[in-house]
Amino acid sequence: MLKRTPLFNVYKDMEGIKLVDFGGWEMPIQFKNGIISEHNAVRSNAGLFDVSHMGEISVEGPDAAEFIDILVTNRISGVQPGKCIYTPMCYENGTTVDDLLVYVLEPDFYLLVVNAANTDKDFEWIKSNLEKTGKDVTINNVSADWAQIALQGSDSVKILSGFTEDFNPDSIEYYTHAGFISVAGCQVLLSRTGYTGEDGFEIYSSPEDAPVIWNTLLKAGAQPCGLGARDILRLEAAFPLYGHELTDKITPMEAGLGMFVKLDKPDFNGKSVLLSMKKNGIPNRIYALKMIEPAVPREGYKVYQAEDSADNADNSRKPLGYITSGGKSPALNEFIALGLLENGKVKPGDTVFLEIRGKLKKAEIVKKPFYKR
């Protein structure tokens, strides 16, 4: 049976909503006005997303920072409360368990926000590491204690300001949180990170309070948005999605996340492999592509260099790599994609070809991101 968020009953009967199975959760792929309208709302006004399916894992105790530093590639020790740290979490071979946010709540208390489909896997992985390290830490899967609503778009500050009493949400810096404040009369953990390429906030509340906050923000002018809009928004911003640009076969270095891999910190899972990759060469990288010939670039399509082009694809040719995510960008009115390709074989401005239904369609390598506000 599919899981449902605390907001499911609020919107399940809304006219025009389309619900799908997303990693075991029954979630809205779109609402009445459709994906394009929702995308445009975020780019020009404000959109509201139910992201309560995301997982939350608490890590607390005297060794909490030291323990998390073993788990993840970014640096946590010494980070002051109020910060939100984006980081990959790796296996010993350097490939990716998940990418997540570490909320520094107190010097010995942290909240890890993980991808929904990975929550149970991540928790088991963290437990196994705790058993190996013997650190003085307590970990709990507290996902059921939280609902999460994302308010995204240029009007986010204006909308949210009407419901935060004497607190100015614009005082929160990017990738920080304000701790616990009141929103629409409810105690919430409020942060400012975002996954759309626009300004925005994450509102973590109790499951019981989530409907009040959701309805309040909708009445104030935010448009409800589903997973379809969220995916194309993050693709335009060239943000990785686990299961696509990051997997248990792709390292953070290949995904272009080297800035979140602190190879100068003490040992962590995957460090030796990632350090060797840094020194000896990264075999593949995530590149950005725009279609020159009209065609939809879908996940798994093979990518070839220009000199391998022909009217028809040939199995004897060796592909550069494959598409990890693709679709049509409403902001650019172009078909765009991310692809895992051999490192150094292409550069921005180069022409490549995608194999689409037996034909090779022309595309151009471009700089990331596709869209920047």
pLDDT of residue 316: 62
Q: With beta carbons less than 8 A apart as the criterion, state whether 105 and 112 touch.
A: no
Written out in words, the top-level CATH class of the domain with range 8-52+146-236 is alpha beta
Q: With beta carbons less than 8 A apart as the criterion, state whether 129 and 70 touch.
A: yes
Q: Are strands 47-50 and 223-225 parallel, antiparallel or unpaired?
A: parallel
Of 214, 163, 148, the closest CA to residue 10 belongs to 214
3-state per-residue secondary structure call for 119-144 = HHHHHHHHHHHHHHHCCCCEEEECHH
Reduced to 3 states (helix: H, G, I; strand: E, B; else coil), residue 34 is: coil
| Mean pLDDT split into 10-residue runs, the chain, 373 residues | 97 96 96 98 98 98 98 98 98 98 97 97 98 97 98 98 96 98 98 97 98 98 98 98 98 98 97 97 98 97 80 68 98 97 97 96 98 93
- Say which residue the tokens 């022409």 belong to: 351
CATH topology of domain 283-366: Elongation Factor Tu (Ef-tu); domain 3 (2.40.30)
In the chain, which segments carry CATH 3.30.70.1400? 55-140
Q: What is the CATH number of domain 55-140?
A: 3.30.70.1400
How many distinct helices (H) and strands (E) make up the chain?
8, 19
In the chain, which segments carry CATH 2.40.30.110? 283-366
In the chain, which segments carry CATH 3.30.1360.120? 8-52+146-236
Q: What type of residue sits at position 20?
A: V
pLDDT of residue 317: 81
Give every CB contact of residue 250 below 8 A, 6+ residues apart in sequence: 95, 96, 284, 340
- Say which residue the tokens 């986010």 belong to: 156
Determine the Cα–Cα distance for residues 213 and 226; give it in Å rounded to an integer: 17
Whole-structure pTM value: 0.96
Neighbour-count burial of 277, counting CB atoms closer than 10 A to its CB (0-12 exposed, 13-18 middle, 19+ buried): buried
Structure token pair of residue 248: 């248990």
Q: What type of residue sits at position 257?
A: L
Q: With beta carbons less than 8 A apart as the criterion, state whether 27 and 19 touch.
A: yes
Give, to the nearest 10 degrees, the angle between helix 119-133 and helix 64-71.
120
DSSP H helical ranges for 178-290: 210-219, 227-236, 271-280
Strand partners, 77: none
